[in-house]
Amino acid sequence: MTSLKVFVIARLLLVIPTILLLVSLVFFIMRVMPGDPVIAIVGMKAPPERVLELRKALGLVDESGNPIPLPIQYLNYLANLFRGDFGRSLIWGKRPVLVEIMEHLPATIELAIAGFLVSIILGVALGTLGGWKGGKTNSAVKIYSAITYALFIPWIGMMFQLLFAVWLKVLPVGGRIDPGLEPPMITGLYLLDSILTGRWDSFVSALRHIILPSLTLGLVISGIFSRVARTSVEEVMRQDFVIAARARGIPEHRLVIHVLRNAFIPIMTMMGLQLALLMTGAILTETTFSWPGMGTFLFERIEYRDYTTVQGTVVFFAIIISLINLVVDILYAYIDPRIRY
Amino acid sequence: MVEESIMGANERRKLTRREALSTAGKVAAGVIVAGIAGGVAGYFAGSATAPTTTVTETRRETIATTIISTKTVTVSPTVTAPPPVVGKECIVKLRPGLYFADGTPLTAHDVVRSIDRVAKIEGDPAWFVLDFLDDWKALDDNTVKFTLKEPVAFFPALLAVPTYFPVHPAYKPDEIDSDQTAGGAGPHKIIKWTRDVELVLESNPYWFAGMPKTKQVIVKFYKDATALRMALEAGEVDIAWRTLRPTDIQDLKKKEGIEVLEAPGGAIRYIVFNMHIPPFDDPRVRKALAAALDRKAICEKVYLGTYEPLYSMVPMGMWSHKDSFKEKYGDRNLELARKLLEEAGYSSSNKLKIELWYTPTHYGDTEVDVATMIKQQWEEIGMVEVELKSAEWTTYLDYTRNRMLGASLYGWYPDYIDPDDYTSPFVNEAGRWLGNAYVSEELGKLLVEARTKTSIEERTTLYERIQDIWAEDAVIVPFAQGKLEIAYRKGIKGVVLDPTLLLRYWLIYKEEGGRIADRIIIGVTDKVTDLDPANAYDFFTWEILNNIMTGMMRYIPGTTELEFGLAASYSLV
């Protein structure tokens, strides 16, 4: 068996305890929180039978109304999860949590991709420029990294809204698309769906709506990329092969490709890590721009104390992030064979 | 004698509180005496106790022009005087020729089917049906008979609650149908519904009261009040509705091209002193603290004018409201507070030491400021030391139910528009959710009596007495009433607000270049929780339901008065 295959199998096996630990943490944290979630949901005036009904729905009591011990609740929860059953929402029609997640996921994926592209383009380009040029440019990029990383998403988002929407009136304040312009659903990603269906008015509207949120999210994350890219390029620039290449008179535009290839491994590692941050950043960005994705969905359900949905969504996030990290690790091992040993 | 006045909807909302009080007093809680459609005879509470009776008949001559015609006529009472207390049977006759939004005929059987659903599903608002009704059945295609468990004078007000709205047959018969868009027989129909994103409504051509002025109404959902405010300024929405922050409202009032409309709302705030927990078991302590409250300061400094001082549990603008606390304690009476505390054995060297509890987020982020200001006001007596304590909502509820909080801050939104809803749920067994803070045999008897009397005059007298006892006992002390605030761009007409908390989209239109626009966009931060009336139980969702469905009864815009909706007549015997 090749070393890469062994690595992949080992890494896959490691995902199982990771997810189990995350799921257990979420389960127990939700149950040790103070207050009675059932009363919080049904309100103070609810009759006892309604309270009992909800306790049953939450798996807190059995059919006769007797409390179910916590370990049994936990095993029941794991068994349901294993069957792909994330439970049902406690509010608004009690829809399956997974269905609700799937309705909101495409918006977050679209925003995450756009924000990620912005952050990579800005971060890698500026970082490379700083590391390559050195001197004042390098200092300027350092300052850029520090400032953008420290930016608070709702604040910078609001500034963009004020400038581009309220004062200049060139971009919308929030939302994902103008009313009535939603393209037919294929992937749920409006930009892609509007291209696939040839709805150019929808494409323009979706593009106008995604510019500010993706710029906000991308700008904040670009600070990390620019920092990593800058230090990485600086390090590679000091290596012998660069000095030798310059001595041989290799043109700079060709040299930069070789430098970037060598500097790319730490940048890629950072990309994997930032995907998790992108998800949490999306919560703030989505709330600021009324973007109907997972972030706003989770935020809203926390407000409504929809415990099963919050629990299901957090677990879903945990699983997705574990899987993303798995893919990044595998890619990393593929690019740099030293990782496998 | 016939007096007729025609006024635009915008003028109508300018009714002063006194006017609102006087008009509301005439016919609130279901006191329209004669059938509107076809002159079918029927009566509501108070209809026939006087030799002649005032009838307020509100007709929309043409909904398209949003003109409301109010005709006041003097008529003779019904031939037979009704019994002094309401009976247990209620007969509702529907208007002839009613249809759902897709043209399906609506009959009494649909009313019964819809209420059957509510009873089967047993969602949160099912108590509106199950607590009040023993039986409901269709006598024929146009007649529904309700049998009440106990006689209640405000039953017509319950018929205006969405839980009683007839829904389209497409709704699942025995389970919640949260995203069902078939609606009912309202002014609008849903043509698109994307949860948390937008709700697109179009005029319902089959609505019994004509066509709304604006063809399409879009409700756009924002996650954040700041984004909503900016969307209004940027012209992305025409109207910014529930819920802008007080600071945004203050700013928007100064902006050109934006108008802000305010009206008394139905939400109230109050302090609960649990009369079973010392030192609040001593009425002198409770009265002293009630007397030391400076409501104006709280409303102006903390709520920035978005709340008004309230001196009774029954809110301003509702019939029978009386400023009982003001009459008893004045605006603020520190001398009286000191005197009462001295009588109770306290002094500046032997201070009354109490805890005041609040919950930090449930009533908005101003709550800590409200609690701090009340603490300061009480400590200004010079004999009181207050320790502020807080707990998150779930814990707060636990503590309250378990009688662990001596003094705590609470708020109330009405379930139905009647003084009963602002009084009964707080007292004796109904008030168990407050840890049975307020127990009073006398009040209990009066509340039962007030529920069952037919005469509005008698009910008013009883509620005034109840409010006086409330102030005398000072167990639950009201201090503020929320205002409704809405901001819209110039050119928007027909916006009407009132304590029912409902915005009627069918009255709203936008003038654009000398013509009426085909579309208006309303921005909100609230959620539509459930399009199924069997499970919907929050005011914004009820507003949407009121725009896509109609009840047998409904409120006259700008008032708390009832008028016939799908019903043509009503009788309670």
pLDDT tens, residue by residue, A285-295: 998 998 989 88
Q: Is B392 among the domain residues?
A: yes
**pLDDT digit string, tens, across residues B536-550:** 888 899 999 999 999
- Of B448, B480, B512, the last residue of a domain is B480
Q: Which residues of A touch B364 (CB under 8 A)?
A: none
Is pLDDT at B343 greater than 60 in this prediction? yes
Contacts of A48 (CB under 8 A, 6+ apart): none
Domain that holds residue B278: 265-480
**Same domain, yes or no: B379 and B496:** no
**Cα–Cα distance, B8 to A83 (Å, whole number):** 60
Domain of B238, CATH number, reads: 3.40.190.10
Q: Which residues of B touch A158 (CB under 8 A)?
A: 226, 230
> Which of the 8 DSSP states describes residue B224?
-
Interface test with A, best of B196, B395, B424, B427 (most A CBs within 10 A): B196
Which chain B residue's Cα is nearest to A166? B234
**Same domain, yes or no: B383 and B236:** no
Q: Is B458 among the domain residues?
A: yes
Domain borders along chain A are 12-94, 101-303
**Same domain, yes or no: B345 and B356:** yes
Is residue B304 a contact partner of residue B480, using CB atoms and an 8 Å limit? Answer: no
Mean pLDDT for B53-71 is 30
| Option in B176, B226, B236 nearest A94 (CB) | B176
Lowest mean pLDDT among A47-61, A119-133, B251-265: A47-61
Question: What are the phi and psi torsion angles at B516 (to 5°)?
Answer: -95, 125
Q: Is B94 among the domain residues?
A: no
**Cα–Cα distance, B22 to B468 (Å, whole number):** 20
Which chain A residue's Cα is nearest to B536? A92
Distance from CA of A99 to the nearest CA of B (A): 13
Kind plus residue range of the DSSP H or E element containing B452: helix B441-452
**Cα–Cα distance, B329 to B291 (Å, whole number):** 5
**pLDDT digit string, tens, across residues B198-234:** 999 999 999 999 899 899 999 999 988 889 999 999 9
**Same domain, yes or no: B453 and B515:** no
Helix axes B283-291 and B456-473, enclosed angle (nearest 10): 100
Interface test with A, best of B171, B191, B215, B226 (most A CBs within 10 A): B226
Answer whether B195 touches A (CB < 8 Å): yes
User: B310 or A287, which is more confident?
Assistant: B310
Distance from CA of A182 to the nearest CA of B (A): 10
- Beta strands, E only, B103-197: 133-140, 143-148, 188-194
**What residues 37-66 of chain A have any CB closer than 8 A to a CB of chain B?**
37, 39-40, 42-47, 50, 53
**Cα–Cα distance, B487 to B242 (Å, whole number):** 10
**Cα–Cα distance, B562 to A36 (Å, whole number):** 39
Per cent of chain B over pLDDT 70 is 85
pLDDT on residue B572: 77
Q: Is B564 among the domain residues?
A: no
Residue holding tokens 């700041």? B226
**Cα–Cα distance, A113 to A282 (Å, whole number):** 11
The alpha carbon of A152 is separated from its chain's Cα centroid by a whole number of angstroms, namely 17
**Same domain, yes or no: B431 and B514:** no
Answer whether B74 touches A (CB < 8 Å): no
**Same domain, yes or no: B367 and B222:** no
| Option in B122, B192, B220 nearest A175 (CB) | B220
pLDDT on residue A42: 67
Total domains present in chain B: 2
Q: Which residues of A touch B398 (CB under 8 A)?
A: 35-36, 39
**Between chain A and chain B, how many beta carbons pairs sit less than 8 Å apart?**
119
Is residue B67 a contact partner of residue B8, using CB atoms and an 8 Å limit? Answer: yes
pLDDT on residue B475: 97
| Alpha-carbon distance values, A23 to A298, B187, B283 (Å) | 16, 48, 53
Contacts of B22 (CB under 8 A, 6+ apart): none
**Same domain, yes or no: B224 and B365:** no
Highest mean pLDDT among A62-71, A105-114, B20-29: A105-114
- Of B509, B524, B539, the last residue of a domain is B524
Asked whether the CA dihedral B458, B464, B468, B471 is positive or negative, the reply is: positive
- Of B480, B510, B533, the last residue of a domain is B480
Contacts of B162 (CB under 8 A, 6+ apart): B125, B533, B536, B542, B545, B546, B549, B551
**pLDDT digit string, tens, across residues A42-55:** 666 666 777 787 78
Local confidence band at B532 (pLDDT 50, 70, 90 cut-offs): very high
> Do residue B236 and residue A287 have CB atoms under 8 angstroms apart?
no
Is pLDDT at B20 greater than 70 in this prediction? no
> Do residue B230 and residue A173 have CB atoms under 8 angstroms apart?
yes
Strands B67-75 vs B53-60: parallel, antiparallel or unpaired: antiparallel
Interface test with B, best of A39, A110, A159, A173 (most B CBs within 10 A): A173
**Same domain, yes or no: B395 and B441:** yes
**What residues 257-286 of chain A have any CB closer than 8 A to a CB of chain B?**
286
pTM: 0.77
User: A4 or B189, which is more confident?
Assistant: B189
> Do residue B401 and residue A173 have CB atoms under 8 angstroms apart?
no
pLDDT on residue B36: 28
**What DSSP letter does each residue of A198-242 carry, written as one string?**
T-HHHHHHHHHHHHHHHHHHHHHHHHHHHHHHHHHHHHHHTSHHH
pLDDT on residue B202: 97
Q: What is the largest CA-CA distance in chain A?
A: 85
Is pLDDT at B19 greater than 60 in this prediction? no
Which chain B residue's Cα is nearest to A303? B362
Is pLDDT at A231 greater than 70 in this prediction? yes
Is pLDDT at B289 greater than 60 in this prediction? yes
| Option in B226, B231, B397 nearest A40 (CB) | B397
Mean pLDDT for B459-466 is 96
Distance from CA of B398 to the nearest CA of A (A): 6
The two structure tokens encoding residue B427: 């007292």
Mean pLDDT for B287-291 is 97
**Same domain, yes or no: B426 and B415:** yes
Distance from CA of B56 to the nearest CA of A (A): 35
Answer whether B220 touches A (CB < 8 Å): yes
Sort A68 into a burial class: Cβ within 10 Å, 0-12 / 13-18 / 19+.
middle
**Same domain, yes or no: B448 and B503:** no
pLDDT on residue B413: 85
Q: Is B414 among the domain residues?
A: yes
Lowest mean pLDDT among B15-29, B107-121, B394-408, B461-475: B15-29
**Cα–Cα distance, B419 to B28 (Å, whole number):** 10
**Same domain, yes or no: B216 and B284:** no
Angle at A40 between CA B398 and CA B391, to 5 degrees: 50
pLDDT on residue A46: 65
Cα torsion at A103, A109, A115, A120 (round to 10°)? 180
ipTM greater than cut 0.85: no
* Fold classified for A101-303: MetI-like fold (1.10.3720)
Domain of B475, CATH number, reads: 3.10.105.10
**Same domain, yes or no: B307 and B383:** yes
Is residue A119 a contact partner of residue A217, using CB atoms and an 8 Å limit? Answer: yes
Answer whether A296 touches B (CB < 8 Å): yes
Mean pLDDT for A133-153 is 89
User: A64 or B173, which is more confident?
Assistant: B173
Mean pLDDT for B466-491 is 95
Q: Where are the alpha helices (DSSP H) in chain A?
A: 3-32, 37-42, 48-57, 70-82, 97-133, 135-150, 153-160, 190-196, 200-237, 240-247, 252-288, 294-303, 307-335
pLDDT on residue A340: 61
> Which of the 8 DSSP states describes residue A21?
H
